[in-house]
Amino acid sequence: AQKVTQAQTEISVVEKEDVTLDCVYETRDTTYYLFWYKQPPSGELVFLIRRNSFDEQNEISGRYSWNFQKSTSSFNFTITASQVVDSAVYFCALSEVSGYQKVTFGTGTKLQVIP
């Protein structure tokens, strides 16, 4: 069975600080996908990134970066120079590739960026 753990329930940072959101996953599959989503107060989930299990290259997109380490089964998300607009709940998710390829979500990390 798949499992995604986001141990940080809530994080508060002051604007312009860097913050890392942790994600640890469990799966028996050798091929899988990992995702991050953002859920702002409006409620709609916004897709941020998808990463194939064979691609361990870190990715940077503006102030966002992701560190995928297969050896520790982690897919951490860092926001550099945080802004108030980054305040949201962030979900990490894992998708199997076989069968019905269901997506398993973590419980989410609520990030509050204080001005």
Partner 1 sequence: DVKVTQSSRYLVKRTGEKVFLECVQDMDHENMFWYRQDPGLGLRLIYFSYDVKMKEKGDIPEGYSVSREKKERFSLILESASTNQTSMYLCASDASRPGTGFGTFGSGTRLTVV
Q: Which residues make up the interface to partner 1 (CB under 8 A)?
A: 4, 6, 9, 33, 35, 37, 42-47, 50, 91, 93, 95-97, 100-103, 105-108
Please, which residue, 74 or 95, has the CB nearer to partner 1?
Answer: 95
Locate 12 and state its tokens. 């508060």
Q: Taking the complex as a whole, how short is the minimal distance between the CB of residue 103 and partner 1, in angstroms?
A: 6
Q: Taking the complex as a whole, how short is the minimal distance between the CB of residue 88 and partner 1, in angstroms?
A: 13
Q: Taking the complex as a whole, how short is the minimal distance between the CB of residue 17 and partner 1, in angstroms?
A: 26
- Residues in contact with 84: Cβ distance below 8 Å, sequence separation at least 6, in sequence order: 15, 113, 114, 115
Please, which residue, 50 or 70, has the CB nearer to partner 1?
Answer: 50
Locate 105 and state its tokens. 């979500």
Please, which residue, 41 or 115, has the CB nearer to partner 1?
Answer: 41
Instruction: Detail the DSSP E strand segments found in the chain.
Output: 3-5, 10-14, 19-21, 24-26, 32-39, 46-52, 59-61, 64-69, 74-79, 88-96, 103-105, 109-114
Please, which residue, 20 or 107, has the CB nearer to partner 1?
Answer: 107
Q: Taking the complex as a whole, how short is the minimal distance between the CB of residue 13 and partner 1, in angstroms?
A: 22
* Residue 73: other Cβ atoms inside 10 A: 17
